[in-house]
Homo-oligomer: A and B are copies of this chain.
Amino acid sequence: MGRIIENLNLSEQVTNELGRAIVAGEYSCESGLPTEAQLCEEYGISRTAVREAVKMLAAKGLISSRPRQGISVEQPSNWNLYDTSVLKWLLSSSPSLYVLKEFLQMRLAIEPEAAALAAEFGRDEDIDQIGKAVEAMKAAANDPSGSMHDADLAFHTSILFASGNRFFSHLRDFISTALNVSIQHTTPAKANDLAVADDHAKIYTAIRNRQPERARNLMKYLIDEAKTFIELEIKKQG
């Protein structure tokens, strides 16, 4: 599939392993982590690599280390959930439907407002990008290849970007990471692809026509449908 070789150095690999394990709960908040020396032995690497990994995880708020006390896991409320790695570890480990619901509540706050800002202040060339994404979605709806996902993602990120607000546009990684996981659950009824693409197109039109309130409401509707779907799934399983 021409997948690009993971270009991670040693400390980043260890960071990934430990980060995943911490988020998955393999190291509790009280028990703490093994000592540096033990980690060296466990992974068969030097202290330098372990220490760099520890520093990276500390920078993401997952752990803290003090002399004599060792390496301790921080409370989950201190974890930086808006770090792409942390979010990825979280979504790949925990019972995902509940996290997805929280995630959709978040999107319901962010994206309608971003759409409104894009309609009000967005630069024309940034709005063009939204249009391109819509066209790609329409094309993907007729095309059996699985390019719908990419186009969908491009649509949402281009709106965040068009908001002209760096706090919104930075959430593109947050949205993307979580969207990649949510795909697994929202087993799309392939039949409505055209209808879905049309819903997206309406939002684009509202932004293009500089109708903030309309863009906000249409986006609210779009995400609320996804949220309702997840809530139904939870009810089925629960």
Indicate how many identical chains form the complex.
Answer: 2
Q: Which residue of B lies closest to A170 (CB)?
A: B81
| Distance A79 CA – B167 CA, assembled complex (angstroms) | 11
A83, B81: Cβ atoms closer than 8 Å: no
Q: Which residues of B contact A58 (CB under 8 A)?
A: 56
A contact residues, range: 35 or more
Tell me which of A81, A166, A168 has the highest count of chain B C-beta atoms within 10 A of its own C-beta.
Answer: A166
Q: Other CB < 8 Å A-B pairs besides A52-B55, A81-B167, 20 of them?
A: A15-B59, A48-B51, A52-B52, A55-B59, A56-B59, A59-B59, A59-B83, A77-B166, A77-B169, A79-B170, A81-B170, A82-B170, A102-B165, A102-B166, A105-B165, A105-B168, A106-B167, A108-B113, A109-B168, A110-B110
A98 to chain B, nearest CB (A): 10
| Given A52-B55, A56-B59, A82-B80; A109-B113 close (CB under 8 Å) | yes
Which positions in A face B, CB cutoff 8 Å? 11, 15, 48, 51-52, 55-60, 76-77, 79-83, 102-103, 105-106, 108-110, 112-114, 117, 165-170
